Amino acid sequence: MASHDYSREMSEELHWLGIAELHAAFGARRTSPVEVVEALLRRIERLDEKLHVFVTLDAENARKAARAAEQDIEAGRHKGPLHGIPIAIKDVIDAAGLPTTCQSKIFEGNIPSDDATSVAQLRRAGAIVLGKVATYEFALGGPSFDLPYPPARNPWHVDHSTGGSSSGSGVGLAAGLFPGALGTDTAGSVRNPASACGIVGLKPTYGRVSRQGVFPLAFTMDHVGPMARRVADIEHLLAAMADRDAPYIDAATDAAVPHRPADLRGKRIGFVRHFHERDMPADNEVAAALELAARVFEEAGAEIVNVSLPPLDAFAAVNRIILQAEAWAVHASWLRTRPQDYAKLTRQRLLGGAFLSAEDYVQAQRRRRRMIAAMEDVFRDVDLLLCASAMDPPCRIDDAEAVARTYPRQARTPFSVTGHPALAMMSGLSSASLPLSLQLAGRYWDEASVLSAAAVFERETQFYRHRPTLE
């Protein structure tokens, strides 16, 4: 599997190849895991000084794993589509021997001895861990400029927001630093950077992917999810990550990778227009991109119907109370004894939990059950939901007022509250060449339908071909 077998044209674009493309290239002996890892390490060296993606880059162990994968593939010992594929891990998820800092002074020197379950499963599938990547502090407070770690920068415009909290995963994918990554999502933290950085991010059904070895933000809303540039790559990551022992999974529906349909005939897609038209009026370009998406799905054979859910501010209130109460339970001791070691923004977002009562929390959970019932009622009539993700293109990262204004302007929290699978992906580019986004959501455990619809949209629009200019 020598590098001279690999064409010059392909070699120059190695960093843009996705998981499925690399798997095919490895099988055809057009490149090797060693060549890919070396190409990505060179690109990281050139670009990461201005993007701030990596908190810990594990170059030598990645090279060692690449050599082992290359030898296995040459010998015909294929582990599957992730064998020899480099991935990045959000720095709230444990990878054995690498610091889990949660981007915080609180966790300086914290080096776990074991992989998180999701990381262990990806390694067993043959994936190569390149290192740990940036997050908002404890997956909540950011973008922050008063931490030992600088915030990641959006590769489309480095002075604009990345979205959070899985910021390093989104940036690194959009910049071609790796083909796959892990993020976490409690109130949209996989889908937010997917939206801002123009990639694909999936929040699976609550419980689909193990949270063992992941530092918690809010126990009853935390999810681990795959992030990539292409829908097919999300499918491969999810297939390896899915927890086969998760409760309440019917074996008959536990198909992480769908059979890809040619069209969407027979599917009913509920368009939640009121999220972006009435509840939280969206930027005109975001709204226009959503209308385009509805037409694309309709032309692919789906029936588009307008549906109604509880208003966004009701979902946001429930999400906020539960998140703050559960996060306070995690952080109370440190906030009492080491408040100065948190970034100001993290401290502000966490301290609200100190003033919530047991009544507040219980009533929020009761209201949550009603919201789940309302969502389930809608899914009795439709197969999928289409709605906004972010209501605005990314704002400037150094404009605290714009960040505070746009941060809550999103429609991701409904699916964090209810636990349904939801995916964010690019729906076009704004006039300022910043990513626009949409969101697809599905029934519990039906990631397959969400991914199939996303794949059809990807095929029909080809928006994934848009790439930031970095060099």
List active site positions. Answer: 90, 165, 189
Tokens matching residue 465: 């071909």
| Contact call for residues 167 and 369 (beta carbons, < 8 A) | no
Q: Which helix (H) or strand (E) holds 415?
A: helix 413-418
- Diameter of the chain measured on Cα atoms: 67
DSSP assignment of 295-362 equals HHHHHTTPEEEE---S-HHHHHHHHHHHHHHHHHHHHHHHHHH-GGGS-HHHHHHHHGGGG--HHHHH
Phi/psi of residue 359, each to 5°? Answer: -60, -45
DSSP assignment of 345-356 equals HHHHHHHGGGG-
Residue 393 burial (10 A CB sphere; 0-12, 13-18, 19+): buried
Q: Which residues contact 36 (CB under 8 A, 6 or more apart)?
A: 14, 17, 22, 66, 84, 86
**Any idea which residue has 């390149």 for tokens?**
130
* Length in residues, the chain: 471
Q: Please, what's the b/e burial string for 349-388 (b: 16 or more CB within 10 A of its CB; e: otherwise)? A: bbbebeebeeeebeebeebbeebeebbeebbeebbbbbbb
| Residue 141, CA atoms < 13 Å, CB-side half-sphere | 27
Q: Which residues contact 166 (CB under 8 A, 6 or more apart)?
A: 90, 135, 139, 181, 183, 184, 185, 189, 190, 192, 193, 201, 227
Q: Closest Cα partner for 207 from 418, 469, 437? A: 418
Q: How far apart are CA 88 and CA 167, in angstroms?
A: 12
